A = this chain, B = another copy of it.
Amino acid sequence: MTVIWLTGLSSAGKSTLGCELHDRLRTMGHKVEMLDGDVVRKHLCKDLGFTKKDREENIRRIGFVAELLAKNGIIVIVSAISPYRAMRDEVRSRLPCFIEVYVNAPLAVCEGRDVKGLYQKARAGELQEFTGVSDPYEPPTEPEVECRTDLESVDQSVRKILEHVLVRLAPRP
């Protein structure tokens, strides 16, 4: 039962690492499913906004689906900002093999990338409760893996995560 949980600011590189991880694990013959925060919001959480309560419910629902998949032997990769430490810990407590990956790049770097143009909107006041700008992000204190996407290549980051995942997948003596 393996859930790789990618947390970090918008534009930190979660989806990029998630997709690459997904492809490599699949190539190795594993069953893998990616739960992307945006996709899940569209299909399971259309009712939810970005208040603390709604973000918590969003994470709870992702956790529920991740558990369903993981207990059936599928490696789950979650890519979601998941800004609150307590919520990530709640999900961790329900999943025996929860690998928290802190996808870390300084806010200025993420804002410089601004893949979806959201920082610009947030600075212009068009988006409220935007993580890193007008809403908090609580970094993991003891993540299983930390990737500095401003300093490492995608390949370097993915290898670090894979190393951690594969050790756990290896049969124990």
Counted per complex, copies of this chain come to 2
Q: Is A47 an interface residue (CB 8 A)?
A: yes
| Residues from chain B with Cβ under 8 Å of A47 in the complex | 47-48, 57
Q: A144–B46 Cα gap in the complex (Å)? A: 32
Q: A99–B61 Cα gap in the complex (Å)? A: 26
Q: A25–B47 Cα gap in the complex (Å)? A: 35
Q: Are A61 and B33 in touch, CB under 8 angstroms? A: no
Q: A57–B46 Cα gap in the complex (Å)? A: 9
Partner of A61, one of B31, B43, B72, B73: B43
Interface stretch (choices A15-23, A63-71, A102-110)? A63-71
Q: Are B64 and A43 in touch, CB under 8 angstroms? A: yes
Q: A72–B167 Cα gap in the complex (Å)? A: 23
Partner of A72, one of B48, B57, B74: B74
Q: Is A60 an interface residue (CB 8 A)?
A: yes
Q: A48–B48 Cα gap in the complex (Å)? A: 12
Partner of A31, one of B43, B46, B72: B72
Interface residues, chain A, with chain B CB atoms under 8 Å away: 31, 33, 43-44, 46-48, 57, 60-61, 64-65, 68-69, 72-74
